[in-house]
Amino acid sequence: MSANALYTDLSGYYDLMCADIDYQAQSHCIHRLQQLFGNGGSRHLDLACGTGPHVRHFLDAGYQSGGLDINQPMLDRAALRCPQARFSLQDMCAFNVDEPQDLITCFLYSIHYSASIERLQACIASVHAALSVGGVFCFNAVDKHKIDNALSVSHSAQHDGSQFRFSSGWHYGGAGERQSLKLNIARTTAGQTQVWHDEHPMVAVGFAELQELLRPYFEVHVLEHDYEKLLPWDGASGNALFACVKL
């Protein structure tokens, strides 16, 4: 089953799959980065917005917020969650906006969904074109050189009489520009278990290479992957937040 097919079939369970994510803390952290590095504007666009939980928090913080995604069922749910927001079915590697944005975000490592270095470059160029002067692009990323294929994260949740177990982990073969996110979902209802396995193709990139891709367009700030504290990246950890200011 392809990644898009899985997400289309299970869009109703996406929020369960992400139930352990602190969307409020993530959104507030990026709001602080916008205050620190940005131009003071309030127009916000969330790339790969899914069902819109981050957009909801930005709206509540006073932003004119919206999102885009390649999955219409996700956007339908986002519109129910955020009826005052504008959502569009677009590819984050080739998108257009009606007016310049002051803040563009891409949460949950979704920048890697660009799937190749060429498309990642196109995503960066599209973001730059969509931002106003002094606008900020914020996202999180994983360094391909730091991926441990043996590690995974998992959690369980109950919904509508069923027990769900979600697990995911990065996999990188050690060379090239392709890594993957391996996802397993098990749903148990009345003693019967149904299991989905999927592997999402992602772009593999080291942080040094990523910074080189960003520098022609942005002033790049790399921070520790900590949504509670704003700390400079230590140069060693394999996860980081990027705050990129349009030149």
Q: What is the pLDDT of residue 13?
A: 75
- With residue 129 as reference, give the H or E element that holds it: helix 117-130
Question: What domains lie within the chain, and their CATH numbers?
Answer: 3-144+205-246 (3.40.50.150), 146-203 (2.20.130.10)
CB contact at 8 A, 177 and 203: yes
Q: What is the pLDDT of residue 1?
A: 39
Residues lower than pLDDT 50 in the chain: 1-4
3-state DSSP assignment of residue 172:
strand
Q: What is the pLDDT of residue 180?
A: 97
d(CA 241, CA 247): 19
Q: What is the pLDDT of residue 8?
A: 52
Residues 6+ apart with CB under 8 A from 53: 15, 18, 21, 23, 81
d(CA 82, CA 65): 9
Q: What is the pLDDT of residue 3?
A: 46
d(CA 193, CA 203): 32
d(CA 83, CA 56): 10
Q: What is the pLDDT of residue 210?
A: 98
Q: What is the pLDDT of residue 7?
A: 53
Burial class (CB in 10 A: 0-12, 13-18, 19+), 110: buried
Q: How many CB atoms lie within 10 A of CB 194?
A: 10
Q: What is the pLDDT of residue 212?
A: 98
- 30: amino acid identity, one letter: I
222, two tokens: 């790399």
**What's the whole-model pTM score?**
0.94
Q: What is the pLDDT of residue 96?
A: 96
Q: What is the pLDDT of residue 114?
A: 97
